[in-house]
Amino acid sequence: MPGTFSDSWKLTKTSFRLIREDRALLVFPVVAGLSILGVLVLFLLGALWLFPLVLAGGAATTHYEVLGALLFVALYFAISFISVYTTAALVGAATLKLNGQQPTAADGWRIARSKFVRLLAWSLITATVGLAIQVISSRVRGVGGILIGAVGGATWGVVTYFMIPVLVYEDLGAWKSLSRSARLYISNFGRSIVTNLVLGLLIGAGIVVAVVLGTVGLLVLVGGSVIVGLVLIVVAIAVAAAVLLIGATAEGVLQAALYRYATTGKIDPDMLPAPLRSGGVRADPTVLP
């Protein structure tokens, strides 16, 4: 157990150190957030167009309702693919960094692009399972439905935790990759739990700070100090945005670090000679050391 906590803390520190050393890793969550925002705007525009038609009634109402349901499913699948694809790019870039190289954002996108079909197929699978869990839990009333949704979602999250790195770095089909991901998680259960718990606590602490600053800002604003109140609110929003951005990046980097540890036993980044770190010679990014 002491070794588990020690390794977990080292892995967590390594993840944050990589982000501090290479800010290019922050690009991937930003792209994911902006892409999802764009998709949501398109969905909202479609919903605003359909809503008056459904309210108007008539023979075509059922068709509009079906179209709305299809629009929602398309939104769900689109968000799933964006999340899977950008996570793969982040994991790829983080793994290069862990292997002692100096990746750019383009390197991460190149790795994700090389596995495009596999990632697309997985995004369809995980979105379908997610929708199925939601549908089943919504049909069960009361506490039972809540438990089904919570337990089903948590179980699926555990089983698929290493799915992205497995899809990127191992030549397996979707279902064999799923089995491989589950085995990796079980064999590294303690470290996976502890590292994610530590990360969650750090992110939670940052959010608490942002909430406190925002609350104080609102109270000061109501009290009459407009400028001070607005400054505190802006600072609170900035802190929350920074915490969420760094947290999302750290989650992907930590996933790469845990996978690397599970498959190689290594925690700290490799130290290549300076000429290699400068980018003059590149190792194959799809092969772990």
Question: DSSP assignment of 18-39, as one string?
Answer: HHHH-GGGGHHHHHHHHHHHHH
What is the pLDDT, as a whole number, of residue 184? 92
Q: Which domain holds residue 128?
A: 2-188
In a domain, 211, yes or no: no
- Name which of 228, 203, 208 is nearest 218 in CA terms: 228
| Cβ neighbour number for residue 86 with a 10 Å cutoff | 25
| Residue 220 domain flag | no
- Whether 156 maps to a domain, the answer reads yes
Task: Identify the segments of the chain with pLDDT beneath 70.
Answer: 1-3, 50-66, 68, 270-289
- Please report whether residue 201 resides in a domain: no
How far apart, in whole angstroms, are the C-alpha atoms of residue 58 and residue 95? 56
pLDDT value at residue 272: 52
pLDDT for the residue numbered 3? 57
The verdict on residue 250 lying in a domain is: no
State pTM to two decimals: 0.84
End-to-end CA distance of the chain: 27
Closest CA to 21 of 210, 255, 271, 244: 271
Q: What is the pLDDT of residue 286?
A: 47
Residue with tokens 């892995």: 11
Asked if residue 129 is part of any domain, the answer here is yes
| Number of independent structural domains in the chain | 1
pLDDT of residue 285: 47
- Has residue 274 been placed in a domain? no
Helices (H) and strands (E) in the chain, counts: 11, 0
DSSP string, 103-134: --HHHHHHHHHHTHHHHHHHHHHHHHHHHHHH
Give a yes or no: residue 112 inside a domain: yes
pLDDT at 289: 43
Q: Look at the block and give the residue holding tokens 């992205």.
A: 164
Position 284 scores a pLDDT of 47
The sign of the dihedral angle between the CA atoms of 241, 89, 200, 131 is positive
Residue positions counted in the chain: 289
Q: Give the single-character DSSP code of 269.
A: P
CA angle 201, 204, 210 (to 5 degrees): 145
Q: What share of the chain is helix, strand, coil (3-state, %, to 5)?
A: 85, 0, 15
Distances (CA, A) of 65 to 40, 45, 74, 133: 19, 15, 14, 22
Residue type, 63: H
